[in-house]
Amino acid sequence: MAATSSLNRFYLLLLVLAVGGGGLLFWQMRSRGPSIPANVVVTTADTAGFSGYYLGDSAATVVITEYADFECPACQTFDVVQFPDVRRQLIEGGKVRWRYRDFPLNIHPYSRVAAHSAACANDQGRYWEQHAVLYQGQGQWSRETDPTSTFRDYARQNGLDLSAYDACMKSAKYAGRIQASYDEGVRVGVGSTPTFLIAGRLYEGVQNSDALKKLVDSLAAAVAAAQ
Amino acid sequence: MNSRMGVALLSVAGVLISAYLWMFKHGYIGTLACGTGACETVQLSPYSSFLGVDVSLLGFLGYAVMLGVSLVGVQPAWLDRPGPSRALLLLAGGALLFAAYLTGIELFVLHAVCRWCVASAVIVTLIFVLAILDHRRFARR
């Protein structure tokens, strides 16, 4: 009798654990919000002729690759506070070619959708405009249940053809490109965002525009001395 | 509560963790509750597969088998038979060696430690300890 009672308690405990854990897994699946699929198989077509979003002179001495996540607060700080100076002093000054790569962290549920929204804007030649508003509005859309309509509003503000934008978002056509960008980051050793790849070295965290200017100047001087 | 019941409960937890990691790797779960990003590094590395099979899937199957054996072992007809103990000791020993190999890869090759993988390694260790305790019941006789 006591053995049966003990066995029944055990079955009850087992059931609670299995149902509770299974329920948590199910809830995780359901609560991921609007999404662009992660970990998709990257095809050759996803990366053909595309190695990132560029700004600046292709003949610039220094190339800086930024691996960033639209939902990462530190990336927003860099983009809003430091990047305007970097753009004015280094990129428009012809010293640096800037290369932006998506590195959507899985802890941020909307970063892939945001990256895809920017990719769709790129189809219409408005990548950097969409990029800027996505970072500026991060504090608002990152708290929404479904930020896709906010991204669409940004697209409208940026003068995009909304029917083409909607078709692009619906097809998730750049999911593979975003994954390829993430995979590249993993390959070069990126573990957090933002991370900057400059002359073969990784610089983690928000970089000060003055520090970047000093670094770029020293790299440019080293290249000039070597020639 | 006897050792085999403990093994069964721990195996259920192991099954759930393995399922979670497998679902993450294949994109069914958007958020992995792992703040450091180390789980992403581990799960997306070439070491997340073993002989072409996902490590998480191997874990899932291993835990499922241990769950099955332990559930058989708690039935009154099997409670005092050594067969389930031997099987659990063998399975848990193999699982422990495999967990040690994977932890070594995390520490010395990837330099990234996923807390879910650590949780699984702890579960495997506890199952092994319980399997030894259960086996000793029969060794003493």
- In CATH, what number is assigned to the domain containing residue B46? 1.20.1440.130
Identify the closest residue of chain A to B8 by CA–CA distance.
A14
A115 in the same domain as A26: no
DSSP reduced 3-state for A38: coil
B49 DSSP β-pair partners: B54
Contacts of B34 in chain A (CB under 8 A): 106-107
Give the least confident one: A69-73, A86-90, A132-136, A167-171: A69-73
pLDDT digits (tens, 9 = 90+) for B37-91: 667 667 767 788 888 888 999 999 999 999 999 999 999 899 889 999 999 999 9
What average pLDDT does the segment A112-136 reach?
97
pLDDT confidence of A111, banded at 50, 70, 90? very high
d(CA B99, CA A6): 32
How many angstroms separate the CA of residue B35 from the nearest CA in chain A?
7
A216 in the same domain as A126: yes
| Per-residue model confidence (pLDDT) at position B34 | 34
| Per-residue model confidence (pLDDT) at position B36 | 45
- Provide CB contacts within 8 A for B40, sequence distance 6+: A105, A106, A186, B32, B34
* Residue B75 structure tokens: 């039935």
* Stronger pLDDT, A133 or B38, i.e. the higher one: A133
| Per-residue model confidence (pLDDT) at position A143 | 85
Contacts of A40 in chain B (CB under 8 A): 27
Share of chain A above pLDDT 70, in %: 93
How many angstroms separate the CA of residue B98 from the nearest CA in chain A?
24
A83 in the same domain as A2: no
Burial of A87 (0-12, 13-18, 19+ CB in 10 A): middle
Q: Does the predicted interface ipTM exceed a cut of 0.85?
A: no
* Stronger pLDDT, B29 or A109, i.e. the higher one: A109
> Which residues of B, range 2-61, sit inside 8 Å of A by Cβ?
5, 8-9, 12-13, 16, 19-20, 23-32, 34-35, 37-38, 40-41, 44
Query: Total domain count for chain A?
Result: 2
Verify whether the Cβ–Cβ distance B40 to A105 is below 8 Å. yes
Instruction: Specify if A36 maps to a domain.
Output: no
A4 φ, ψ to 5°? Answer: -65, -40
How many angstroms separate the CA of residue A132 from the nearest CA in chain B?
25
What average pLDDT does the segment A193-207 reach?
89
Contacts of A32 in chain B (CB under 8 A): 29-31
pLDDT of A3 higher than 80: no
* Stronger pLDDT, A36 or A85, i.e. the higher one: A85
Contacts of B35 in chain A (CB under 8 A): 107
DSSP reduced 3-state for A173: coil
| Per-residue model confidence (pLDDT) at position B125 | 96
DSSP A80: I
Instruction: Specify if B82 maps to a domain.
Output: yes
Domain that holds residue A117: 44-226
| Per-residue model confidence (pLDDT) at position B24 | 75
A132 in the same domain as A85: yes
Verify whether the Cβ–Cβ distance B37 to A105 is below 8 Å. yes
Count of other CB atoms within 10 angstroms of residue A227: 4
Question: The domain that contains A182 carries what CATH number?
Answer: 3.40.30.10
| Per-residue model confidence (pLDDT) at position A30 | 64
pLDDT of A225 higher than 90: no
The letter for the amino acid at A99 is R
A138 in the same domain as A106: yes
pLDDT digits (tens, 9 = 90+) for A171-192: 999 999 999 999 999 899 888 8
Which residue of A5, A9, A15, A28 to mutate against B (max B Cβ within 10 Å)?
A: A28
Instruction: Specify if B55 maps to a domain.
Output: yes
Of B1, B13, B27, the CB nearest to A38: B27
Residue A184's closest CA among A111, A128, A103? Answer: A103
Instruction: Specify if B63 maps to a domain.
Output: yes
| Per-residue model confidence (pLDDT) at position A48 | 85
What average pLDDT does the segment A150-175 reach?
96
Q: Are A207 and A90 in contact (CB under 8 A)?
A: no
d(CA A90, CA A96): 5
pLDDT digits (tens, 9 = 90+) for A24-52: 888 777 655 556 666 677 888 888 889 99
H or E segment and range at residue A128: helix A127-136
Contacts of A18 in chain B (CB under 8 A): 12, 16
Contacts of A35 in chain B (CB under 8 A): 30
> Which residues of B, range 57-116, sit inside 8 Å of A by Cβ?
74, 76, 112
A215 in the same domain as A119: yes
A78 in the same domain as A5: no
Query: Total domain count for chain B?
Result: 1
A20 in the same domain as A50: no
Instruction: Specify if A214 maps to a domain.
Output: yes
| Per-residue model confidence (pLDDT) at position B31 | 43
Verify whether the Cβ–Cβ distance A7 to B74 is below 8 Å. yes
| Per-residue model confidence (pLDDT) at position B32 | 37
What average pLDDT does the segment A70-98 reach?
92
Instruction: Specify if B33 maps to a domain.
Output: no
* Look-up of token digits 């996902």: B54
Q: What residue ranges in chain A does DSSP mark as E strands?
A: 53-55, 62-68, 96-102, 195-198, 201-204
- Name the range with the highest mean pLDDT among A56-65, A74-83, A187-196: A56-65
> What is the average pLDDT value for chain A, to the nearest integer?
90
Verify whether the Cβ–Cβ distance A186 to B41 is below 8 Å. yes
A163 in the same domain as A84: yes
| Per-residue model confidence (pLDDT) at position A191 | 80
DSSP A53: E
* Stronger pLDDT, B139 or B124, i.e. the higher one: B124
pLDDT of A14 higher than 60: yes
Which residue of B4, B5, B75 to mutate against A (max A Cβ within 10 Å)?
A: B5
Instruction: Specify if A39 maps to a domain.
Output: no
The number of helices, as runs of H, and strands, as runs of E, in chain B is 5, 2
What average pLDDT does the segment A76-94 reach?
93
Instruction: Specify if A86 maps to a domain.
Output: yes
Instruction: Specify if A38 maps to a domain.
Output: no
Domain that holds residue B20: 3-25+38-139
